[in-house]
């Protein structure tokens, strides 16, 4: 109610200003006309009292005529031809009313004839020109504002996605698509809906400069890792803002839409080609079965739970010791999969009572063991907890799986278990060996899946770097030459599921991690993706290798033989069975040392179980010293 009153008051005030303006212009037109007629008639004098009387009559008449002619119905900002017609009508009527006033006041005939012609002409000019000027001024301001709000856009990729994106950008508004860039020579000099292909992607810096481009959109969902890196590098050289479409895997069957535009993420640069999976085999191994995931609240565990839930298992049991992580994965699964039979259990894999009771009650057919401590520098000083969780926890869940007739047990391991130089890697290596030992004596198929770092997982380097960038730096890298393997969380989860149905028992499957990535390059790209320049806006500081850290990771032991599998991104390796001699007795000794909190003995036992740890470089071989 109050808003309507305020709007009406505003409109009334604006129209009052226009009425005052018009009456002033009527007065000016009449006075100028009378002065001109006196000059033309050669009288040289004006009877000012007579002129004042004439003005009173003219203002009354013109005010009424302007209102009747509809001059105050429109808005000056949108003055158009109908408004001009109203103005002409009002001026013609003004000539008639002016003549009538002069006739009533018995003015000379010569004066009446001249004023009938001069007054409407002056009236049209004085009433019309301000309106025209106001309309032009407003249009100019609007055009400037529109240009400022409209972004001159270049689409990189003139294929199907780029052609679909063009009408979507036009429909959405705010984008002036100048052209395409594409390396396909057959598309050169072609057009799509009047938008030309301006050349290869390498011309981007020149086109950005010449055409004043504000935004480049990378519309190549099928682009490989190397292609995306090259395009992003060219965009950075051109100093233009850039966005991209999701990959083919992310787009799925959707039509490309404006809403699919997103900033380029580190996954777009370090991600790999879409994974092709044997979903029929995966469904056969999961659908309709009781599946259990330990550590289901972690990065990999939660992703596994989501992917398993899509495969319609008979039930999904999640064991997690973090209350918050368990709540989060439980909430998300129940929101997304309302028909899923899910049971979340707050508990520790190291607790035999919890593990036995859960196995006995839930009777899982497939177990994915993702529960583990993985923070390398922290575990280097926490040998007891590392051994307890990663070794004893694996032993508890593996032994229970064998006792209760689990069909398949999948251990999720790490590339740091290969020739380990740190506590975390050594404990994961023992977990691998123990599962292989249990496999020899059990009908359960024990399978190990080994892979490297996962982008954006909890505790990984990407969230750390992003946090350091948000705080203004510096970004800390341990060594300028350090490299690591990376894959996305989704790809890791999918390949784990695929490996789980490939194995017959006792295998260690190694996921193809692609090419190793320099952590320095990763830091530089994250800084650039944040719109800053490495070394200028954000410094990169090298802090030195941490205890137990290697310059590069390996995926295979020297004594392991490996071969390809039916899946191109999964390799199979088997270790020498002599490595398993006296394993159980040594793990028993390690469990006693855990109960007694004898960290010195644990250090020696870990070296005994994993001799590679003792042969690690002196800088990294601190397990025994740190255990005391």
Indicate the range of 41-50, 141-150, 194-203 predicted with least confidence.
Answer: 141-150
Residues 57-78 have a mean pLDDT of: 58
Residues 128-133 have a mean pLDDT of: 72
Give residue 254's domain range: 151-264
Is residue 385 predicted with pLDDT exceeding 80? Answer: yes
Scan for tokens 């004006």, then name that residue: 46
DSSP 186-245: GGTT-EETTEEB---GGGHHHHHHHHT--EEEE--TT--HHHHHHHHHHHHHHT-EEEEP
Q: Are 417 and 508 in contact (CB under 8 A)?
A: no
Around Cβ 25, how many Cβ atoms within 10 Å?
19
Strands (E), 233-289: 241-244, 262-263
| Helix H or strand E segment including 154 | strand 151-156
pTM above 0.75, yes or no: no
CA nearest to 434, candidates 474, 392, 490, 400:
392
- Scored b (16 or more CB within 10 A) or e, 574-597 reads ebeeebeeebeebbebbbebbeee
Instruction: Return the pLDDT at 230.
Output: 85
- How many separate domains does the chain show? 3
CA distance 43 to 272: 95
Is residue 577 very low, low, confident or very high in pLDDT (cuts 50, 70, 90)? low
In a domain, 572, yes or no: yes
With 0-12 / 13-18 / 19 or more C-beta atoms within 10 angstroms meaning exposed / middle / buried, residue 538 is: buried
CA nearest to 111, candidates 123, 121, 98, 120:
98
**Same structural domain, 360 and 503:** yes
CA distance 235 to 242: 7
Residues 35-61 have a mean pLDDT of: 66
Instruction: Return the pLDDT at 349.
Output: 94
Is residue 73 predicted with pLDDT exceeding 80? Answer: no
CATH number of the domain that 182 lies in?
3.40.50.720
**Bond before 474 cis per omega within 30 degrees:** yes
Is residue 180 predicted with pLDDT exceeding 60? Answer: yes
Scan for tokens 């289901």, then name that residue: 296
Length of the chain: 628
Tokens of 268: 């777009």
DSSP 319-357: EES-HHHHHHHHHHHHHH-TT--EEEEE--TT-HHHHHH
Strand-pair partners of 443: none
Please tell me which of 42-46, 351-355, 468-472 the model is most confident about, judged by mean pLDDT: 351-355
**Same structural domain, 62 and 165:** no
**Same structural domain, 41 and 162:** no
Is residue 157 predicted with pLDDT exceeding 70? Answer: yes
Higher-pLDDT residue of 110, 395: 395
Instruction: Return the pLDDT at 10.
Output: 47
Higher-pLDDT residue of 627, 111: 111
**Same structural domain, 245 and 298:** no
In a domain, 386, yes or no: yes
When the pLDDT of each residue in the chain is averaged and rounded to a whole number, the result is: 77
Indicate the range of 104-108, 358-362, 468-472 predicted with least confidence.
Answer: 104-108
Instruction: Return the pLDDT at 67.
Output: 65
**Same structural domain, 257 and 286:** no
Tokens of 185: 């020579």
In a domain, 460, yes or no: no
Is residue 408 predicted with pLDDT exceeding 90? Answer: yes
Instruction: Return the pLDDT at 122.
Output: 74
Is residue 401 predicted with pLDDT exceeding 60? Answer: yes
3-class DSSP assignment, residue 621: coil
DSSP state of 534: B
Q: What percent of the chain has pLDDT over 70?
A: 68
DSSP 450-468: EE-EETT-TTSHHHHHHHH
Instruction: Return the pLDDT at 63.
Output: 66
**Same structural domain, 234 and 361:** no
Residues 378-389 have a mean pLDDT of: 92
C-alpha angle 70-72-76 in degrees, rounded to nearest 5: 115
**Same structural domain, 133 and 163:** no
In a domain, 251, yes or no: yes
C-alpha separations of 532 from 521, 535, 537, 542 in Å: 14, 9, 6, 19
DSSP state of 389: I
Instruction: Return the pLDDT at 39.
Output: 67
Higher-pLDDT residue of 78, 379: 379
Is residue 616 very low, low, confident or very high in pLDDT (cuts 50, 70, 90)? low
Listed residues 207, 239, 264: the one ending a domain: 264
Indicate the range of 42-56, 216-230, 319-333 predicted with least confidence.
Answer: 42-56
**Half-sphere exposure in the Cβ direction for 289 (13 Å, CA):** 19
In a domain, 301, yes or no: yes
Is residue 268 very low, low, confident or very high in pLDDT (cuts 50, 70, 90)? low
Indicate the range of 275-289, 445-459, 467-481, 555-569 predicted with least confidence.
Answer: 555-569
Higher-pLDDT residue of 580, 369: 369
Instruction: Return the pLDDT at 263.
Output: 64
**Same structural domain, 227 and 295:** no
Residues 525-530 have a mean pLDDT of: 79
**Same structural domain, 260 and 284:** no
Listed residues 148, 169, 202: the one ending a domain: 148
Residues 339-367 have a mean pLDDT of: 94
Q: Are 269 and 229 in contact (CB under 8 A)?
A: yes
Higher-pLDDT residue of 618, 183: 183
In a domain, 538, yes or no: no
C-alpha separations of 336 from 55, 252, 297 in Å: 79, 18, 16
**Same structural domain, 285 and 258:** no
In a domain, 529, yes or no: no
3-class DSSP assignment, residue 539: coil
Q: What is the pLDDT of residues 235-250, one digit of tens each?
A: 888 888 888 876 544 4
Is residue 7 very low, low, confident or very high in pLDDT (cuts 50, 70, 90)? very low
Residues 423-440 have a mean pLDDT of: 90
Strands (E), 471-611: 475-477, 483-484, 486-487, 508-511, 517-518, 540-542, 561-564, 570-574
Scan for tokens 């190291």, then name that residue: 350
Q: Are 158 and 200 in contact (CB under 8 A)?
A: no
C-alpha angle 401-402-405 in degrees, rounded to nearest 5: 80
Report CA 292 to chain centroid distance, whole Å: 31
Listed residues 100, 132, 148: the one ending a domain: 148
3-class DSSP assignment, residue 178: strand
**Same structural domain, 30 and 121:** yes
In a domain, 48, yes or no: yes
C-alpha separations of 190 from 185, 194, 336, 367, 422 in Å: 10, 9, 45, 56, 58
Higher-pLDDT residue of 458, 126: 126
C-alpha separations of 231 from 201, 209, 268, 269 in Å: 7, 17, 11, 10
**Same structural domain, 380 and 503:** yes
Instruction: Return the pLDDT at 341.
Output: 92
Q: How far apart are the first and last CA of the chain?
A: 78
């Amino acid at each position: 109610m109050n808003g309507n009153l305020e709007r009406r008051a505003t409109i009334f005030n604006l129209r009052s200003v226009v009425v005052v303006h018009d009456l002033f212009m009527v007065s000016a037109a009449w006075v100028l006309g009378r002065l001109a007629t006196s000059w033309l008639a050669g009288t040289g004098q004006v009877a000012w009292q007579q002129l004042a009387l004439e003005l009173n009559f003219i203002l009354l008449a013109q005010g009424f005529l302007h209102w009747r002619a509809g001059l105050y119905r429109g808005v000056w900002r949108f003055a158009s031809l109908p408004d001009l017609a109203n103005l002409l009508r009002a001026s013609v009527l003004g000539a008639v009313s002016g003549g009538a006033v002069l006739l009533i006041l018995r003015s000379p005939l010569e004066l009446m004839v001249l004023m009938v012609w001069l007054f409407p002409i002056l009236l049209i000019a004085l009433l019309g020109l301000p309106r025209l000027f106001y309309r032009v001024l407003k249009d100019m301001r609007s055009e400037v504002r529109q240009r400022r709000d409209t972004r001159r856009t270049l689409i990189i990729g003139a294929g199907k996605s780029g052609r679909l994106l063009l009408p979507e950008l036009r429909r959405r508004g705010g984008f002036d698509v100048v052209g395409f860039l594409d390396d396909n020579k057959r598309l050169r000099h072609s057009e799509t809906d009047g938008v030309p292909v301006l050349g290869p992607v390498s011309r981007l810096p020149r086109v950005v400069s010449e055409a004043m481009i504000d935004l480049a959109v990378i519309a190549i969902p099928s682009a490989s890792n190397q292609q995306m890196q090259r395009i992003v590098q060219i965009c950075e050289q051109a100093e233009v803002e850039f966005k991209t479409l999701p990959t083919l895997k992310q787009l799925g069957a959707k039509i490309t839409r404006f809403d699919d535009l997103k900033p380029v993420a580190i996954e777009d640069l370090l991600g790999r080609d879409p994974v092709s999976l044997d979903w029929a085999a995966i469904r056969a191994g999961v659908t309709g079965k009781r599946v259990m995931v330990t550590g289901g609240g972690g990065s990999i565990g939660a992703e596994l739970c989501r992917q398993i839930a899509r495969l319609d298992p008979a039930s999904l049991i999640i064991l997690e010791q973090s209350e918050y992580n368990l709540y989060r994965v439980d909430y998300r699964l129940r929101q997304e999969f309302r028909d899923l039979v899910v049971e979340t259990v707050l508990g520790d894999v190291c607790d035999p009572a919890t593990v036995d009771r859960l196995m006995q009650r839930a009777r899982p057919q497939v177990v994915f063991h993702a529960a583990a401590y993985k923070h390398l520098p922290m575990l280097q000083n926490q040998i007891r907890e590392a051994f307890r969780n990663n070794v004893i926890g694996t032993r508890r869940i593996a032994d229970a799986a064998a006792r209760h007739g689990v069909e398949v047990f999948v251990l999720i391991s790490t590339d740091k278990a290969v020739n380990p130089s740190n506590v975390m890697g050594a404990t994961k290596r023992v977990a691998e060996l123990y599962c292989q030992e249990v496999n020899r004596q059990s009908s359960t198929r024990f399978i190990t899946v080994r892979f490297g770092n996962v982008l954006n997982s909890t505790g990984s380097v990407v969230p750390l770097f992003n946090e350091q960038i948000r705080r203004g730096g510096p970004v800390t890298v341990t060594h300028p030459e350090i490299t690591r393997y990376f894959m996305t969380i989704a790809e890791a989860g999918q390949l784990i599921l695929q490996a789980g149905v490939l194995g017959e028992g006792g295998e260690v499957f190694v996921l193809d991690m692609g090419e190793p990535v320099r952590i320095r390059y990763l830091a530089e790209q994250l800084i650039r993706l944040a719109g800053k320049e490495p070394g200028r806006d954000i410094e990169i500081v090298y802090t030195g290798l941490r205890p137990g850290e290697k310059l590069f990771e390996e995926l295979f032991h020297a004594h392991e033989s490996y071969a390809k599998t039916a899946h191109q991104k999964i390799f199979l390796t088997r270790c020498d069975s002599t490595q398993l001699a006296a394993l159980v007795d040594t793990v028993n000794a390690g469990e006693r040392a855990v109960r007694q909190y004898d960290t010195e003995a644990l250090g020696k036992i870990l070296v005994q179980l994993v001799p590679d740890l003792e042969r690690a470089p002196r800088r990294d071989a601190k397990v025994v010293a740190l255990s005391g």
